[in-house]
Amino acid sequence: MRLLLVEDDERLARGVAASLEAAGFSVDRLENGEDALQMAGAEPYAAIILDLGLPDLDGLDVLSRLRARGEVTPIIILTARDMVDDRINGLDRGADDYMAKPFDPRELESRIRALVRRSQGTPDPVLRIGTLVFDRSSRTVSLDDSVIDLRRRELAVLETLMGRPGKVIPKERLSAQVFAFDDAVTPNALEVYVGRLRRKLQPSGPAIRTVRGLGYMIEAA
């Protein structure tokens, strides 16, 4: 899943991004509200993590403007403002969750996963296709009760495909979910990860089909 982190404290942003990437997310980092407003409408983010104390715009104004234009992406506020009125104000303006600094990165990861599951209509943390099981909480995959060793981006590709079994995922959308905008990737990087997944799912796992000119699809059963 691809996330947008809007945080002007560079040290904190690096730490949060590193923790989230280690947990399997792709993270784009921005430092101000205007860039966040532009990027949030241009990329298919699974969730937005928004600091309130930004240098150009108050984070609550960014939040209000995102919701006013119809942005439905889950938004988690990160802030040092921890008064009850601050939390109420943020939630009333459209935030989905609120975390006060300092916080445990593991809790942030868990809250993001829960928000994304609900927003996608799949509250169960476990995805299943036949004997292929993806536990999104532990980031583990098993096939025929045997654990499969998958790398971070392989997990991201598989999670996106298993979230819509039997449906074609456009190549551009799949790439956007797997790679952050500053990732150095080759033109055929996505095909490489899909090829690795196909080999690791053999012989009994669901097939990943290439739909020429459109994208990829994992069989529903």
pLDDT in tens, 112-152: 999 988 887 777 789 999 999 999 888 899 999 999 999 98
> 134 and 158 in contact (C-beta within 8 Å)?
yes
Q: Where in the sequence of the chain do the CATH 3.40.50.2300 domains occur?
A: 2-119
Residues with Cβ < 8 Å from 205, sequence gap 6 or more? 130, 131, 132, 143
* Helix (H), strand (E) at residue 111: helix 105-119
Given CATH 3.40.50.2300, say whether it is the number of domain 2-119: yes
pLDDT at 4: 96
CATH, domain range 126-218:
1.10.10.10
Calpha distance 75→94 (Å, rounded) = 8
Calpha distance 155→141 (Å, rounded) = 8
In the chain, what percentage of residues exceed pLDDT 70? 99
Calpha distance 174→70 (Å, rounded) = 23
pLDDT at 29: 94
Q: Of the candidates 172, 134, 174, 178, which has an alpha carbon nearest to the alpha carbon of residue 153? A: 178
Give the mean model confidence (pLDDT) for residues 71-81. 89
Q: Which amino acid is at 221?
A: A
pLDDT, tens digit, for every residue of 192-206?
999 999 999 999 999
Calpha distance 99→108 (Å, rounded) = 8
**Strand order from edge to edge, sheet including 208-211:** 169-170, 215-218, 208-211
Residues with Cβ < 8 Å from 117, sequence gap 6 or more? 123, 124, 125, 136
Calpha distance 150→127 (Å, rounded) = 16
Beta-strand relationship, 2-6 and 47-51: parallel
Q: Where in the sequence of the chain do the CATH 1.10.10.10 domains occur?
A: 126-218
- Would you state the structure tokens that stand for residue 116, as one six-digit string? 């994304």
Calpha distance 41→16 (Å, rounded) = 22
- Please, what's the largest Cα pairwise distance for the chain? 56
- Model confidence, pTM: 0.73
